[in-house]
Amino acid sequence: MEKTSYTYLSKACQFVEDHAYARQSEALHRVRSRAEENDLSQGSAVQAEFLHTLALMTHSTSVITVGTGSVVEIMQLIDALGGSGQLTAVDSSAQGIAFIRGLFAGLSDDTQTTLRAVNAPVGVFLPRLNGADYDMIVVSGDAGNYLETFEQAPRLLRDRGVIVFTDVLALASDESNGGVLNPADRSEKALAMRQLLETVQADERFDSTLTATGTGLLIAVKR
């Protein structure tokens, strides 16, 4: 690819992000601002919009989110459920789960979707859930969340269920030094994401693809 093409590709990414941000509701903007004021960093607007669309495309009725206070994405997924089904947010951080619980309390009168906020490590909570009961799992946050959640995905997901890993390029964390793109980046997240890519893409129980949406999404569909 020529240098000029790379320049336009970079501009295209910024255009797409600005476009998605402008389309978001005032409620989403307020949630993003409040979360960031509470030191809960949020993913890109286009990433959250993509997850919303993917939930609609897969006709998801039962969703699990794993991560550290990714409330903009959670709001988009709740909207995609359309007032039905259930969303379970799993967060091991006290700060993240407190914010999510406050968000859910504010939504209780506006949606019939069952909302659960669980403060527990994924390796403790996910094995307790019923198998083949979920359409979609979204993973974000700490490096340890990813492979532990993927270990449970074949059991938890229904046929054609989807698991989505965010920040797979490991660019969002404070310790990032170029993430997966930089071989010299040996941070915890970069190392974990390299291992995740190898593990998921080698698993014959899933079809998967890596996209550059946000800071990298790895999408795997259970066969």
- Output phi, psi for 88, to 5 deg: -115, 120
The CA radius of gyration of the chain, in Å to the nearest whole number, is 17
Whether the predicted pLDDT of 148 surpasses 70: yes
Tens-digit pLDDT profile for residues 64-105 = 999 977 899 999 999 999 999 999 999 999 999 999 999 999
| End-to-end CA gap in the chain | 34
Q: How far is CA 115 from the centre of its chain?
A: 17
Q: Which residue type occupies 138?
A: V
Q: What is the pLDDT of residue 153?
A: 98
State pTM to two decimals. Answer: 0.95
Question: What value does the mean pLDDT of the chain take?
Answer: 94
Tens-digit pLDDT profile for residues 9-18 = 889 999 999 9
Tens-digit pLDDT profile for residues 158-174 = 999 999 999 999 999 88
Whether the predicted pLDDT of 1 surpasses 60: no
Q: Domains of the chain: which residue ranges?
A: 3-222
Beta bridge partners of residue 117, listed in sequence order: 89
Pairing outcome for strands 206-211 and 157-165: unpaired
* Residues 25, 105, 53, 123, Cα dihedral to 10°: 140
Q: What is the pLDDT of residue 135?
A: 98
Beta bridge partners of residue 114, listed in sequence order: 86
Whether the predicted pLDDT of 58 surpasses 60: yes
> Of 125, 104, 130, 107, whose CA–CA distance to 116 is shortest?
104
Fold of 3-222: Rossmann fold (3.40.50)
Beta bridge partners of residue 89, listed in sequence order: 65, 117
